[in-house]
Structure 1
Amino acid sequence: MRIVFAGTPEFGLPCLSALQNSEHQIVAVYTQPDRPAGRGRKLKFSAIKTWALEHNILVNQPVNFKSQAAISELQALKPDLMVVIAYGLILPTEVLNIPTFGCVNVHASILPKWRGASPIHNAILNGDEETGVAIMQMDKGMDTGDYYQITACKISDDDTTGTLHDKLARIAINPLLETIHNIQNYKAIPIKQNSSLATYAGKIKKEDGKIIWNNSAQKINQQIRAFNPWPLAYAILNGLNLQIIQANVVHNQSNQQPGTILEISKQGMLVSTKEKSILIEKIKFPGKNTIAISDYLNSNQTSLQVGQVFL
């Protein structure tokens, strides 16, 4: 089939590479316009664009699909199918109807749970035991289309959004290829979502990372894992935003105010919470690299002290 691929971040790369190595033809890649990034604010290509250019595939980057020019450009490609993975642009009905077989989306959740922009973050933040990938036929709603396949994936106790992202990106390959094969051979059977069970994962903001010490240690640990690698959980100490990279729940309960540093050892920095305590193992000071608490102790720094209270 003639396939147009639409995606922007790295999540879509394993599937894009698999499509390139399949019997199908990728006639173009759509990705969001280049964005300023870094301290120099230089324009940066998306991961998908970089890959496409390396493989000599046509790249189109419309700002949106409101213009007739953008619509005509897609029509001229005569696609049989459009595969959409974390593209980040709304596709109007006119676009969804251009490919012969419409548009298929890979969504990183067990739909209808966690429709929306940040399903991986929210699965960890919520303490879900499993998540997955859904291969769905797109309609005009937000992740509301009928699905063809859902593949589950267990969430490990030490999974972060980063590690789970990579697992799901790989898991999606075979279900996507199988679905495309079935669509091509008119064997695909769409299944309607039960919208009464839908939950929504809104866009993550930096301020969502602020730790509320009056939560339980389990909830705080989920927050730390959910916001790694971005935006990173943080707490305020002595006026500085201290980012918390890695931690574990400790089952002892303290009568100290939540957020109080109880102990600092080579194992980590023990901090009280509303329920149980949390052992912080890796941190990041502003403008510095990530450092393990054991290495912090070896460096003879003194900015962290027992009895201090995080805000």
Structure 2
Amino acid sequence: MKCIFMGTPDFAAVCLEKLASSRHEVLAVFSQPDKPVGRKQQILPTVVKACALQHGIPVYQPPTLKDGSALAQINQLQPDIIIVVAYGKILPTEILHAAKYGCVNEHASLLPKYRGAAPIQWAVLNGDRLTGVCIMQMDAGLDTGDILYTVKTDIGPNETSAELFDRLAVLGADALLKTLDLIESGEAVPQKQPQGDGFYASRITKDMAPIDWSRSAAQIHNQIRGLQTWPCAQTTQNGRVLKLHTSRLTPFSGGAPGQVTEQNKHLYVTCGDGKWLEILELQPAGKKKMDAKSFLSGYPVQTDTYFGS
């Protein structure tokens, strides 16, 4: 089929890469305008734009979709279908109906659960054991369209949001190609989303980073997994900020919430339920990420050492 692809970040670029290498024709790519990034605020192309240019695909980056110019470009291209993956803009009704088969969207959750901007992070933050990707026919609502295809996958007990992100990007790209085949052959059967609002996956914010050591070990473990790689779960030690990157649940217990224990070069912190959480990788402010053994060499633990102090 002749496709227009709309997307911006690396999650979408994985899908575009597979689509561009398939039998389908990508007429054009729409992506967010280039923005300054990093400390130097260097203006760089979006990941999707860079991928499109590598494949020689024309790229459009309209600052808005509301003035009619984007619709005119789409109408001129005459696509069979428009594919939307993490584009970052709300599509006007006219664009939703501009292609023969309308617009389809890849969403990284089992809808209706985790509609919204951060479904992957929230699935990990909430300690879910199952997630997946839905391909849906877009309508005027926010992630409310009929489901065309679903793929499910387990979430590992120590899997981080970054690791799950990479897996779902590949699973979603494969699911999209299968969906296109079903649509083209007339075998796609749209299914209404199950009743119920589900859990809304709002954007992740910096104020979610601080760790409250009165929470359970499982809750803090999920916080560390879910907020990797941004903004990273954070705590303090004697006023010094520490980012905690990876952790592991343990069978050990004892001590007060936030109390730090060292055993055989392993770093443990007591949580609100009395259980010890092992910290595997962490990062003091102004330093590079390091494993627990390296941290303990530079920052020895005393009997009265507490995180959150």
TM-score band w.r.t. shorter chain: over 0.9
Alignment of 1:165-180 (within 5 A): 165-180=165-180
Q: Percent identity?
A: 39
- In the alignment, is the contact (CA less than 8 A) between 1:235 and 1:241 conserved in 2? yes
Q: Describe how 1:1-311 pairs up with structure 2 within 5 A.
A: 1-256=1-256, 258-263=257-262, 265-267=264-266, 269-275=267-273, 276-298=275-297, 301-302=298-299, 305-311=302-308
Deviation of 1:303 after TM superposition, in Å, equals 6.5
| CA shift for structure 1 position 197 | 4.9
Q: CA separation in 2, counterparts of 1:131 and 1:137?
A: 19
Structure 2 stretches lacking a partner, 5+ long: none
Whether the aligned pair in 2 keeps the contact of 1:265 and 1:294 (CA below 8 Å) is: no
**Is the Cα contact below 8 Å between 2:104 and 2:138 reproduced in 1?**
yes
**How far has the Cα of 1:231 moved from its partner?**
1.5
User: Could you state the TM-score of these two structures normalised by the residue count of structure 1?
Assistant: 0.94
Retained in 2: the 8 A contact 1:262–1:307? no
- Mapped to 2, the partners of 1:252 and 1:112 lie a distance apart of 38
For the residue of structure 1 that corresponds to 2:196, the secondary structure is helix
What amino acid is the match of 1:100?
A: K
Quote the Cα distance in structure 2 between the aligned partners of 1:180 and 1:84: 13
What amino acid does structure 2 have at the position aligned with 1:253? S
Cα distance in structure 2, aligned partners of 1:122 and 1:184: 34
Change (3 A) 1:282 1:305: farther
Whole-angstrom CA distance in 2 between matches of 1:80 and 1:26:
10
Whole-angstrom CA distance in 1 between matches of 2:74 and 2:223: 41
Q: Distance in 2 between matches of 1:34 and 1:186?
A: 38
Distance between the aligned counterparts of 2:195 and 2:93, measured in 1? 20
Aligned partner of residue 243 in structure 1, secondary structure: strand
How far off its partner does 1:100 sit? 1.2
TM-score by length of 2: 0.95
Alpha-carbon distance in 2 for matches of 1:265, 1:227: 28
Q: CA RMSD in A?
A: 1.5
The DSSP-based 3-state class of the residue aligned with 2:252 is coil
> By how many angstroms is 1:242 displaced?
0.6
